[in-house]
Amino acid sequence: MIKYISMLLALCIVFLVMQTSMLARFGPFGFTANLIAFVVFFTIITGKRRSPYGLTAALFGGILLDFFSELPFGVWTGGFFSVWVFISLILKSHVQIPFFEKQ
Q: How many whole angstroms separate alpha carbon 40 and alpha carbon 32? A: 17
User: pTM to 2 decimals?
Assistant: 0.73
In SS3 terms, 53-64 reads as HHHHHHHHHHHH
| Mean pLDDT to the nearest integer, 10-34 | 76
The answer to whether residue 5 scores a pLDDT higher than 80 is no
What pLDDT shows up at residue 27? 64
Per 3-state DSSP, what percentage of the chain is helix, strand, and coil (rounded to 5)? 70, 0, 30
Q: How many whole angstroms separate alpha carbon 82 and alpha carbon 53? A: 15
